[in-house]
């Protein structure tokens, strides 16, 4: 996994057509995305940069000015009433995430999710939960939050049956 500085990452995102709207604490909010037809890099470099940009929204972490991209993804997702997500992760962990505390926070992305019918429209896209208004949750954040709350189940080690 290659680490790049936050400044390098921001430049790469801006070259791809994203615009920085505002900075809220450690959260950088980006908007827009235009196609870049004159991107002169090789196909391999283009693919790596595109994956890094896409993965940033899923699992970007800052570490001393560097961005490290994780490959943790959701493998299954379903909703449960009221406002719960039953999820399984690519590393074998699973659990039921209670989204009610997250929805209690005010924000333009979470406002429509307070309707149960709309909340149930969540889909699994590229390993992350996403709603029709394009609100998504990072799998890494989701796993850490579930672990912090005690909602995460870990696979039990295989038992040795030989004697």
pLDDT by residue for the chain (163 residues), tens only, comes to 567 777 777 787 778 777 777 776 666 666 765 433 333 333 444 455 555 555 555 444 444 445 555 589 999 999 998 899 999 999 999 999 999 999 998 888 889 999 999 999 999 999 999 999 999 999 999 999 999 999 999 988 877 777 6
Tell me the torsion sign for CA atoms 128, 129, 132, 134.
Answer: negative
The answer to whether the predicted template modeling score (pTM) of the entire model surpasses 0.95 is no
Q: How far apart are CA 113 and CA 14, in angstroms?
A: 29
- What is the arrangement of strands in the sheet containing 152-153, beginning at the earlier edge strand? 74-80, 84-89, 94-98, 152-153
Domain ranges of the chain: 4-69, 74-153
CATH architecture of 74-153: 2-Layer Sandwich (3.30)
Predicted confidence at residue 62, as pLDDT, reads 46
DSSP string covering 69-86: E----EEEEEEETTTEEE
């Amino acid at each position: 996994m290659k680490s790049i500085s936050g400044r390098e990452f921001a430049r790469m995102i801006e070259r791809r057509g994203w615009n920085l709207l505002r900075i809220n604490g450690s959260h950088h909010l980006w908007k827009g995305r235009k196609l870049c037809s004159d991107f002169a890099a090789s196909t391999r470099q283009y693919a790596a940069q595109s994956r890094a940009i896409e993965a940033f929204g899923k699992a970007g972490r800052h570490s001393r000015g560097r961005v490290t991209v994780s490959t943790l993804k959701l493998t299954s997702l379903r909703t449960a009433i009221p406002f719960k997500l039953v999820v399984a992760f690519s590393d074998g962990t699973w659990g039921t995430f209670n989204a009610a505390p997250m929805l209690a926070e005010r924000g333009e992305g979470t406002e429509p999710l307070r309707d149960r019918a709309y909340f149930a429209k969540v889909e699994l896209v590229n390993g992350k939960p996403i709603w029709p208004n394009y609100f998504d949750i990072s799998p890494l954040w989701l796993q850490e939050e579930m672990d912090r709350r005690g909602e995460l189940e870990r696979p039990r080690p295989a038992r040795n049956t030989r004697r």
